[in-house]
Structure 1
């Protein structure tokens, strides 16, 4: 099952491409680096830890699955 790779920060609504730096919790709530820092790396929705979202390989495309 692939990550959803949401395209906007849930806090400030800045655009996040699949190659952009972003942070997610275990529920895939998605935030930009600036908002993650402002929230001390804690998800305001579930209280979970925000960690760096992996970048999708550009040559595999959005539809690729393991």
Structure 2
């Protein structure tokens, strides 16, 4: 199950699990669409390809909660 991180690691933008617009690599590093575009869809941490992250329905958050740990170091 995906971690569904709550923010962009590059700019800190909120990325709710139930909304589209997040991009992840195979290690689940997470970026917003504008940052993924600026990174040419390559993860700066591992060099992997950034892909659209699937969404998780809000009604599943109680049983399968998204992560609340923020990764932005700003």
| TM-score when normalising by structure 1 | 0.87
The alignment covers a number of residue pairs equal to: 63
Aligned with 2:36: secondary structure? Answer: helix
Shift of 1:57: 1.9
Provide the residue aligned with 2:54 in structure 1: 54
Task: Show the counterpart of 1:3.
Answer: 2
TM-superposed CA distance for 1:19, in Å, is 1.9
Question: Unaligned regions of 5+ residues in structure 1, if any?
Answer: none
Q: Any gaps of 5 or more consecutive residues in structure 2?
A: 65-74
Partners of 1:30 and 1:39 in 2: how far apart?
Answer: 12
Residue 16 of structure 1: how far off its partner (Å): 0.8
Match of 2:28 in 1: 28
Bigger drift between 50-59 and 21-30 goes to 50-59
- Which structure ranks higher in relative contact order (CA pairs < 8 Å, sequence separation ≥ 6)? 2
